[in-house]
Structure 1
Amino acid sequence: MFLLFLFSCFLGDAHQVCSSGKRYIYFKFTVLSKADTFPEFSAVAVADDRLIAHYSNEERDWILTEDDWINAPEEPPDSRDWFLHQIRTLSDCTDSLCSELHVLQRVIGCELEKLSDGSVNLRAFDEYGFDGEDFMAFNSDTLQWIEKNPKAKETKMKWDQQTVHNELLKDYLKTCTDWISTFNNTENRKPDVHTTLRKDPNDQNKQVLTCLTTGFYPRDIEMDIRFNKTALEDQISSGIRPNDDGSFQMRSSVEIDRNHEGIYDCFVIHRSLTEPVSAGWMEKCTDCEESKWPDKKVAAAVVVVVVLLAVLLIVLQRYKRRRSDGNNTVTTEIYDHLQTQENVHRNGQ
């Protein structure tokens, strides 16, 4: 569960930063009321899907993990001890140790988006979550905190009175967008697009189109399954997921009528491509080939024919046997008659 807390972006609007194509940088802090498998304090810094720094509890300092900086960003003004104090206050711990486990998280940073008209949209954010729920968010324009949970009322009143601290936060968020422009994230990996067509296990009249795009970087990508160049509705998407090598993948599928004629394609747009990729499907379904065994109606007809042939064969065999037996009887009678005539002739002599 806590791995989810450490690496997912669930805090309110900040979730959009993790799933959008905007350039961004953010620091994320995770504090536990008691240490167990995970440390009581951990923090990471991320820029454009890349881990750029992490906090070392042993050295009590930030460790930079990326060298692509002209001017490396500074960590937020709040210290490790400040976070530990906040978690104990929110958890109502009477001493330095807490009997119950609570989780405090914070994500602070900014995003930069270039719009189609050439203008630039900037947004800064500073948000907190407590025990997996949205808790507080900072408004850098009004220097006030916004409560996102009924439990945050008392904390909001305390934090609104910290005017000096709030001014520091405002200045920090203003410089955040400058750091984005100094990060030379020029890495691009082209997506590898695969398409498959399979029969629908629940409906013999339908087929399932699947498009898998993998190996791309950065994270942002647009992918649609289209029919005659129009994106289909009711597509089922896996969402963008990480690969082990730092790249990403995404899978989408949709059901279609197997008798529906038209052109289907998987349409992919990514920053690494000079032009969009359109990958089509094979003409034949990979597991829809005609079966080597006949269907039920054909099988029944085959059985009937086989039975009739068997019956006919038996009749023919019996007929031949009777005919053979009949011929043997006639031959015996003729032989007996000739033998009698011969005996009579001998006696007459």
Structure 2
Amino acid sequence: TFLLILIYISTCVLLAKYTPMLMHKTHSLTYIYTAYSKEPSTPGLHKFTAMGLLDGRIIDYFDNDHPLKVPKQKWMEEQEDKDYWKKGSDTLKKMMDWFNINIGILMDRMRQNQSDLHTLQWLHGCEAKKEAGGMVFTRGLDMYNYDGKSFLEFDDAHGVWSTANTAAEPTKRKWDGVPDYTKGYLENECCQWMEKFLQKEQEELQKSSLPDPEVFLFTTSSSVNDRVNLNCLATGFYPTDVDLQMTRDGQLLTQLNGLRSSKVRPNHDNTYQRRDTVEILTSDTSEFRCETEVRFLKCFYLIFFRSHSASASTAMIIGVVGGCVLLFLLVVALLLIWLHKKNKLSK
């Protein structure tokens, strides 16, 4: 038994070491700036706001009423020095002035009434996959919207700006002369910052006391009498990176087999869940497995289900195999007992 435990622990360590190299999760780092031509009357809106988002989660924020760039994640607050936030605040104050000037230029160019409310937005950032050698760039994002409509967009593949708005043509001609800076930022600097932020987030998560994720495989009733819905539920994980797979007798189930997915959804405690469902016959005696890999965990969670005629129609939790932490503690306990006995015998 002790040998089996050691083998399992070794497997978990190998998974921890090599599964990140096999994962091809796409990450994103984006910045969104929104400016109004005048102070909006709607409560909660500001004349200028800026925010950074890592995989869709806000990591920093700035607005004209409180012109300081501030962290919105604990790991950002603790791991970036004060100089970072000061420089960021100074840059965003200049950006705010730039937006105020240019939204006025656009209104004049379009002969718009100065008393009306207009909006200029800028989104820029990058998407990349984390592989063994670091972040691998997949797509750059750099686009401007005016009054909610596309105004200017950078074509990263060809290094030019594109627009369908005639009012943007002068800006396009000017910016097409210096595309290398935009392309260089999207493909290099942006990915470098993304990798740095992901590493900081991972370090914080490894120190956090979030509960271990849980995985359940259970059935619920179907609208068809001789069928049930087989559900694979993973819940309590953070962040949103999860790989959920259901198999029937070793064959992966997909949408072609009728598999439906809820996608990743938030829980009330800032963790996430995902449920995959497939409809099966109550008489199906195949072996169904649910395999879940959550980023930052050291093992796969694996559970299985075998249907037994009509008994499968009851909604029952089959079990959870959550692996490494408990076994690691067990090994540590056995090691301490062995060391204690060894010291006792040596006296």
TM-score clears 0.5: yes
| Partner SS for 1:44 | strand
Q: Choose 235-244 or 156-165, whichever is displaced more.
A: 156-165
- Cα deviation 1:97-141 (Å, max 9, x = unaligned): 326xx665432122332347x575224321334566655421357
Does the 8 A contact of 1:68 with 1:185 survive in 2? no
- TM-score normalized by the length of structure 2: 0.62
For residues 32 and 255 of structure 1, do their structure 2 counterparts lie closer, same or farther at Cα, with a shift above 3 Å needed? farther
Q: Which residue of 2 aligns with 1:159?
A: 172
1:275-314 equivalences under 5 Å are: 275-281=299-305, 284-285=311-312, 287=314
Are the counterparts in 1 of residues 110 and 167 from structure 2 also a CA contact under 8 Å? no
Q: Tell me the residue number matched to 1:39.
A: 46
Corresponding position: 1:169 with 2:190: no
Q: How many Å separate the matches in 2 of 1:160 and 1:61?
A: 34
Q: Greater relative contact order: 1 or 2 (C-alpha under 8 angstroms, separation 6 or more)?
A: 2
**2:194 aligns with one of 158, 171, 180:** 180
1:68 aligned onto 2:83: no
List per-residue Cα deviations over 1:159-197 (Å, max 9, x = no partner): 331367756534543422222233312125643212320
- Name the aligned partner's letter for residue 59 of structure 1: H
Q: CA deviation at 1:207?
A: 0.5
107, 128, 131: which one pairs with 2:123? 107
**What is the CA–CA distance in structure 2 between the aligned matches of 1:285 and 1:87, rounded to whole Å?**
63
Residues 48 and 68 from structure 1, CA distance in 2 versus in 1: closer, same or farther, beyond 3 angstroms?
Answer: farther
Maintained 8 Å contact 2:135/2:195? no
Rounded Cα–Cα distance in structure 2 between residues aligned with 1:43 and 1:129? 15
- Does the CA-based 8 Å contact 2:228-2:313 persist in structure 1? no
In the alignment, what sits opposite 1:29?
33
- The aligned length equals 263
Percentage of identical aligned residues? 23
Match of 2:58 among 51, 57, 60: 51
Asked if the contact 1:143/1:160 (under 8 Å) is kept, the reply is no
- CA RMSD for the aligned pairs? 3.7
Which has the larger share of helix? 2
Question: Residue in 1 aligned with 2:261?
Answer: 237
SS at match of 1:204: coil
Matched, 1:194 2:216: yes
Counterpart pick for 2:292 among 262, 268, 274: 268
Aligned 8 A contact 2:129 2:136 in 1:
yes
* 1:196–1:282 Cα contact (<8 Å) kept: no
Question: What TM-score, normalized to structure 1?
Answer: 0.62
**Alpha-carbon deviations, 1:84-109, whole Å to 9, x = none?**
5666737957243326xx66543212
